[in-house]
Chains A and B, each alone.
Chain A
Amino acid sequence: MLWYKAWLETRWRMLLPAGMIFFALFTGHQSKGRLHFGPGSMLGVVGLFWLTAPLTLAGSGLRTEAPFQAVKGLHGSTYFTLSLPVSRLRLFASRTALGILETAGILVAVCGIAVAVFPELRGLATAADGFRYMATLLLCSLGYFGFSTLLSTFVDQQWQVLIAVGTIFLSLWLGVSGRLPRSLDMFAAMGPASPLINHAMPWGAVALSVGAGIVFLLAALRVVQARQY
């Protein structure tokens, strides 16, 4: 039933990232032939919007379960949740797993629509490349998902999303300014260096994201287990 709770809690949050990505795709579709950047850059923009999904769908910090409650020094429904005969590990794991599943669900929907809207994508890459691209997007989002989850243990939901969005722009800047090796640049991995263009997995960026995601999630779990409410 924790899945049921997590689903009711987060289902509307899926609309924001889905809407943003569909907007990006729609704009790209309407501007076909008039844009001065190629499919690689377009994919990079989609990747940028895509990252709003893990940020908004992460959140197992249990600091508060209602927006603005923590600001008022309250914990929302957290006390009720903690009164259930369930370990904090199980609370954390179910919420995290559902967040990743919802993120993956958005990814599948977006990719399906993208292929339908941009028939030229089918000429760009094979089905295997398409699956590699989806895997890249999902895995490259894990680091941000983990970071956003860790943030949710310290700050309220609105601050969690704001800070995490700031982190996206920071990592974008690191890549664009050349301060980050291209092989570790998430936006290159999801855009110009993606499997749809390069026909190969960007393993460096994927490994960095997965590694960071695991570290952040483990840190968030430790905080949740140790925290006093």
Chain B
Amino acid sequence: MSDFAIEVNALRKSFGGRAALDGLDLRVPAGSIFGFLGRNGAGKTTTIKVLMGMLRADGGAARVFGLDAGDPAQSVEARRRIGFVTEDKELYPYMTVEQIIRFTRPFFPKWRDDLERRYLKMFDLPPKKKIDILSKGMRSKLMLLIAVCHSAELLILDEPTDGLDPAAVEDVLRELVAIAGSQGTTIFFSSHQLNEVEQIADNICIVDKGRAVVAGVLDDLKARYQRFHVVLESELAAPVRWVDGVEHVRQEGRTVSILASGNAEGIVRQIESLPGASVERFPVGLKEIFLEKVRSDENALV
């Protein structure tokens, strides 16, 4: 059996000639909490739809538990093991909370009644209320309940905390960590909330323009990425050919800001070779990595 719950290789998908996925590669280790990040339109939801069998890729391969997501029969098998929260949190408006749980339960033989009771209480979901009068936040909670209670091996969550108040966000994040820890469930979630991702994810992938631009274990990435603030004696007369590891350089007058993804010692040596340079190192957070990777910067030198 593969060590990866999700494997995506060179995935391509276009809509009307515009590439939504442009050779995306992705590996989601089994049992991990995997944050899938990107700007609006970067290809996150398209990737999720391909994984769920709702969209067919134009090229490449997408596998969930080794099953081909593009094959209808294999996709049904995969979906038995997936709990899914959709981006728009739309459920059947004509059903009550109780009815949609009763409807969903038979599709999943390993339904957990104990978890159902627990989350109904914890999320304060009214069983007799119709879904069409629930807020988006309440629908998010209901979708999470459904996704979690069927003992899914993989949770695919598209913006799971969208519409939740801060207290509910904390509750949900804590539960996700508990589920991953206690049941070994793989959690693959997309989010714009970088602080949430940083709080619970152990692996991340940043996608931009349909390609993975950064991927890996979050702690490793944070250890690898550093920012160097350099103050020079005078402005650089000519462009510098930076050593390996320099990801991004921005210069304003005598000040140079360098984002590096490795080779810190080599970079320091190069900086120290510049006339009158003083350098300071700073750790880099996920937000900074994300912004540097997805934002186009006219002042960038690398």
Chain A interface (Cβ within 8 Å of chain B)?
Answer: 1, 4-5, 8-9, 65-66, 69, 74-80, 82-88, 225, 228-229
Comparing B71-79, B189-197, B274-282, the segment that makes contact with chain A is: B71-79
* Chain A positions within 8 Å of B82 at CB level: 83
CB-defined A-B contacts under 8 Å, sample of 15: A4-B103, A8-B94, A8-B95, A65-B92, A77-B93, A80-B84, A80-B90, A80-B143, A82-B53, A83-B84, A85-B77, A85-B107, A85-B108, A87-B76, A225-B72
Say which residue of B80, B86, B93, B95 sits within 8 Å of A79 (CB atoms).
B86
In the complex, A88 Cα to B82 Cα: how many Å? 17
Say which residue of B92, B107, B108 sits within 8 Å of A77 (CB atoms).
B92
In the complex, A86 Cα to B94 Cα: how many Å? 21
Query: Does B91 sit within 8 A of A, measured CB to CB?
Result: yes
Majority secondary structure of chain A interface residues (helix, strand, loop or mixed): loop
Q: Contact between B90 and A75 (Cβ–Cβ < 8 Å)?
A: yes
Q: Contact between A66 and B93 (Cβ–Cβ < 8 Å)?
A: yes
Query: Does B224 sit within 8 A of A, measured CB to CB?
Result: no
Say which residue of A4, A74, A79, A87 sits within 8 Å of B72 (CB atoms).
A87
* Chain A positions within 8 Å of B72 at CB level: 87-88, 225
Query: Does B99 sit within 8 A of A, measured CB to CB?
Result: yes
* Chain B positions within 8 Å of A9 at CB level: 92, 94
* Chain A positions within 8 Å of B108 at CB level: 85
In the complex, A112 Cα to B103 Cα: how many Å? 33
Q: A79-B87, A79-B90, A87-B73 are in contact. List 10 more A-B contacts (CB 8 A).
A: A1-B103, A1-B104, A8-B94, A9-B94, A74-B88, A80-B86, A83-B84, A85-B76, A85-B77, A86-B107
Encode contact with A along B160-202: 1 for CB under 8 Å, 0 otherwise.
Answer: 0000000000000000000000000000000000000000000
